[in-house]
């Protein structure tokens, strides 16, 4: 199974500010919508069907995002995501938004999801099947702190340009 998932999306007019930039809050919508589509397509995990049949789902516990370059109205962007860490009730996903050719990084996001029992209104442990799935697709990163990971990515991109 692929560990880094990639999807192209067009930035829509209604999601942009008066400068024709994707509105800051809309980045989160693009990232989450793409991730939902990716895990359904690549991992055969429809989170809405899962919620209806189990009463369990994931809620966003935190977001850490850095904006580097604007995404413009009607621009095609490439969104990539990867699971970088998991526990029995937590997922940490790293997402990046690039230009269509992956030559310009626009934003980096870490999003933490908590597995949640909707009826009991409390966290819930992942099933053995989910833990096996996560083990098969996790791609840990060297830096456990978002700011350090951000700097590592930026330095790596600069090194590629200067090479």
Structural domain boundaries in the chain: 5-162
The CATH number of domain 5-162, selected from 3.40.50.1580, 3.10.129.10, 3.10.105.10, 3.40.50.2020:
3.10.129.10
Which residues fall within 8 angstroms of residue 10, CB to CB, at 6 or more apart?
74, 75, 76, 77
What are the CA-CA distances from residue 71 to residues 17, 61, 76, 163 (Å)? 11, 25, 9, 26
Distance, in Å, from the CA atom of 70 to the CA atom of 51, rounded to the nearest integer, reads: 35
Predicted TM-score (pTM) of the model is: 0.96
Give the confidence band of 133 by pLDDT, cuts at 50, 70, 90: very high
pLDDT at 101: 96
pLDDT at 160: 84
Bigger pLDDT: 163 vs 36: 36
């Amino acid at each position: 199974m692929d560990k880094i998932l990639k999807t192209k999306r067009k930035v829509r007019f209604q999601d942009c500010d008066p400068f024709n930039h994707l509105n800051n809050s809309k980045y989160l919508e693009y990232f989450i919508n793409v991730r939902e589509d990716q895990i359904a397509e690549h991992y055969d995990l429809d989170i809405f069907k899962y919620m209806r049949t189990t009463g369990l789902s994931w809620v966003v516990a935190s977001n850490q995002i850095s904006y580097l370059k604007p995404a413009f109205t009607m621009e095609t962007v490439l969104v990539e995501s990867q699971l970088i860490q998991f526990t029995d009730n937590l997922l940490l996903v790293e997402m990046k938004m690039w230009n269509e050719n992956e030559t310009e990084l626009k934003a980096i996001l870490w999003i933490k999801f908590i597995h949640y029992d909707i009826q009991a209104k409390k966290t819930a442990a992942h099933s053995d099947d989910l833990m096996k799935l996560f083990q098969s697709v996790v791609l840990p990163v060297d830096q456990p702190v978002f700011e350090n990971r951000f700097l590592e990515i930026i330095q790596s991109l600069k090194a590629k340009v200067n090479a």
